A and B are shown apart, each in its own frame.
Chain A
Amino acid sequence: MGEASCGPIVSFRDVTLSFERPILRGVSFDLAPGTTKIVLGGSGSGKTTILRLILGLLRPDSGSVSVEGTDVARSGEEELREVRLKIGMVFQEGALFDSLTVGENVAYRLSEDGKLEPEEIEDRVREMLGFVGLRAFYDRMPSELSGGQRRRVAVARALLARPRIMLYDEPTTGLDPVTSTTITDLIVKVRDLDGVSSIMVTHQLRDAFNIARTFIRREGSAFVPRAIEGLENLEGTEFLMLREGRVQFEGTAHELVTSDLPYIRQFLS
């Protein structure tokens, strides 16, 4: 694993996948440790498929998908389980378990492991719910939460096992601007405070640029999100644009907004 730690944490090489039509056609990219990759593209361009391939929920027709050096496309269920332990996933609508309380949802992975005492798990869950601003919601059922709250609980659930990689599938779609900003600030907090590598799939440009230009700064004893003006010197966040299953663009926020490619101009307009 030593080699994997200095190389990309996630690597796609010439990945193709078709169902009734081609979904991905020769997609290649790398995610460096501690960085964020924002995957943009229209509906049906294959964005969510990328996340499902990383998790081993789908297998490519050809090419390789590796996570910290493990080729998930050729791994068995046991190996995949090990890989998934390193990954936190936030599904589009949260995908919280309806029959469990918020606390039980967040605690799910640790409770299933059975390695920690219930009291210790509860402490960690309450702390994590505090991190996402929902400490008082421990005993609520998912049906009692708003869309934004469900996604914050999903972030807490994904973070509890301290993953090395976070995957976000359209985390702000369908939310109002204020709630979207709460979610993007949370994503930035996870990136800057915990140094977690992440891939976010979205078609919300405003939120994508918010994540690229916002950083968490320490002000006194508090950590607060601060936005940087301009896109020239942003580091750590890269954009990947898909069009009909092909990588149309890969680069920084500045390179994206200054690109001459007609599709990108149209997408950004």
Chain B
Amino acid sequence: MPSRTRAALADLIDRLTRKVKEAVFSVQEYVLLAVSGLKAMATQPRDTREILSQMDSLGVQSLSIVVLTGMFTGMVLALQSAAALDAFGARPYVGRLVCVSMVRELGPVLTALMVTGRVGSGMAAELGSMVVTQQIDALRVLGSDPVRKLVAPRILAGLVMVPLLTVISDTVGIFGGGLISVFSLKLSWAFYWRSVGNALVLNDLVMGLAKPAAFGFILASVGCYMGLGTTGGTRGVGQATTRSVVVGSVLILASDFFMTKFLLLLFPVA
């Protein structure tokens, strides 16, 4: 092999090794931060004011986009499923399909993705700005632990508020599906809701609440990790914000697959 090719190959291997090491190091750092955040969340002292403020920012202020997303998703779902079910003369099953799809999959995933875009990015930007303006250093110098002060309240807010938002999104989505069923598909209101009620079983609720809690944890911890790892001034804040949305969204979708697989094993569909 010519020496120039050998040198290029060695350089490529060297760069790949460095990238893999950096990736492993990032995963290790993320896990350490997430575990410290959970530990701080579970122990005293807790900053009640900051927890309430994060719950407001993550939950209450995300309400409008979650309601809109849920409503339109439920409506589209009803239209699309009716088109498919009509081929089998199964239009009356629209309610069942909308309900199961919303509660098991679309409600949790779409809510988490919307909140990641709105709040996860905000967390990364806020903490990133605090890093570049040395406010995180100032916190440590003044005797505070940034993980307890900043990360724990955000993770707690994610764990509590994303499931609540998901329940709202599911409800609004099913309601939207009902509107389409009545006004466009000519099904009766009572029939639609009976169909919804028959479709829902306890396993759906377990799946519909376990997933959003996990997604809430992921979006908050990824937002905090990206924010606290900001380097390179204001440009770095922008990059951290983008990374938090991309990584958070991919992790939510990937974990959705694995959680679904796991939950279906635990609670098989009859």
Residues of A within 8 A of B (CB): 52, 55, 57, 77, 81, 84-85, 87, 89, 91-93, 95-98, 108-109, 112-113, 157
Whether the Cβ atoms of B137 and A91 lie closer than 8 Å is yes
A95 touches B133 (CB 8 A): yes
Which residues of B approach A to under 8 Å, CB–CB?
Answer: 129-130, 133-135, 137-145
Q: Are A95 and B134 in contact (CB under 8 A)?
A: yes
Q: Chain A residue with minimal CB distance to B143?
A: A81
Inter-chain contact B143/A95, CB cutoff 8 Å: no
The answer on a CB contact under 8 Å between A93 and B133 is yes
Beta-carbon contact of A109 and B135 below 8 Å: no
Q: Cα distance A157–B138 when bound, in Å? A: 10
The answer for the CA separation of A96 and B137 in the assembled complex, in Å, is: 11
Q: Across the interface, do A84 and B134 meet the contact criterion of CB distance under 8 Å?
A: no
The complex places the Cα of A96 from the Cα of B135 at a distance, in Å, of 7
Contact of B142 among A57, A98, A108 (CB under 8 A): A108
Q: In whole angstroms, what is the CA distance A158 to B138 when docked?
A: 10
Question: Contacting B138 at CB < 8 Å: which of A85, A97, A113?
Answer: A97
**Shortest Cβ distance from residue B144 to the other chain A in the assembled complex, whole angstroms:** 6
Interface of B is mostly: helix
Q: Is the CB of B144 within 8 A of A95?
A: no
- A–B Cβ pairs within 8 angstroms, 19 of them: A52-B137, A55-B137, A55-B141, A57-B140, A81-B143, A89-B141, A92-B134, A93-B134, A95-B134, A95-B137, A95-B138, A96-B135, A96-B138, A97-B135, A98-B135, A108-B142, A109-B142, A109-B143, A112-B144
Whole-angstrom CA separation of A13 from B169 in the bound complex: 61
For A85, the closest partner residue in chain B by CB is: B143
Q: Cα distance A161–B130 when bound, in Å? A: 23
The interface residues of chain A lying within 8 Å CB-to-CB of B143 are 81, 84-85, 109, 112-113
Q: Which of A85, A87, A95, A113 contacts B135 (CB 8 A)?
A: A95
Q: Which residues of A contact B129 (CB under 8 A)?
A: 98
